[in-house]
Amino acid sequence: MASLDDLKKRITSVKSTQKITKAMKMVAAAKLKRAQESAEKGRPYSEKMNNVILNLSNGISDKETAPKLLSGTGKDKIHLCVVMTSDRGLCGGFNSNIIKKAKNYFGEILKEGKVLKIITVGSKGNDQLKRQYGNKIIENISFKNSKNANYFDAEKVGRIIIEKFEKEEFDICTIFYNQFKNVITQIPQAQKIIPLNTESADENELEDSYEFEPDEDEILNNLLPKNISTQIFKAMLENSASEQGARMSAMDNATRNAGEMVDKLTIQYNRSRQAAITKELIEIISGAESL
């Protein structure tokens, strides 16, 4: 049984931890509001850009001359998966949910006998995947020094993907991230960005007729690389909001658990203290009676 001194030290330690988790919850709550606003503002822009590109692609008469970023290589052999996680932990199941989604996809790809290549964006994803898929990871990108998700970081990732595609190092590129729904719920997503996924298009948007100048091919050659960076930026914004929401929820649970532990330890401490006092009284009374 733990001594009174040990129990007292443990109560003090748990209380200190509780203060830290409570402070982290408050910080996450403050960051969440900004991150959520950014994610919600980014969704319409990325969706509209996708629809504009699909409208442009419908105007191309000769599909064989369409840009490779739009139509792909025509093959389905080499898959590049960009797994986007955080650089920090203590955010519940945020990172593990993305990794689980990605691993399920990896399993299907390898089962079909296709080649798998992985780029990890965020150190936590790299730490979890390198144990099982270390030989598949071709690059690890980390933005530990960046306080918030920004377009320049997304453009950096986009350039790396486009360079590898131009060198014919892969046929299909898919990004994995968490879509923010609310503080409790974040939904893991797998989005194909090369070639462009036409299944996600808004039919109402595609029904509209537009006239473009210059030619569709020329516009697409300029717009497609920007679209890839935009989709990656959207994923970063969604991840940022999801991370803060998951951290806020995790720290709230940790704070409540610490409070419950303090209560239990305090009861144990009081009982032990009462038992020690009772024992001393019995010894005093027994000694007095013996005299």
In this structure, the number of other CB atoms found within 10 A of the CB of residue 280 comes to 10
Residue 195: asked if its preceding bond is cis (omega within 30°), the reply is yes
Cα–Cα distance for residue pair 117/58, rounded to 1 Å: 31
Nearest in space to 43 (alpha carbons), one of 210, 158, 177: 177
Q: What is the sign, positive or negative, of the torsion defined by CA atoms of 282, 285, 288, 289? A: negative
Strands of the 115-121 sheet, one edge to the other: 137-141, 115-121, 78-84, 172-180, 186-194
- Provide the 3-class DSSP secondary structure of residue 150: coil
Which residues on adjacent β-strands are paired with residue 78? 115
Which residues neighbour 17 within 8 Å (Cβ) at sequence distance 6 or greater?
254, 258
Would you call 91 a catalytic residue per the annotation? Answer: yes
Residues 10/2, Cβ–Cβ less than 8 Å: yes
Q: Say how many Å lie between the first and final Cα of the chain, rounded.
A: 33
Catalytic pick from 91, 109, 119, 223? 91
The SS3 of residue 87 is coil
Instruction: Provide the annotated active-site residues.
Output: 91
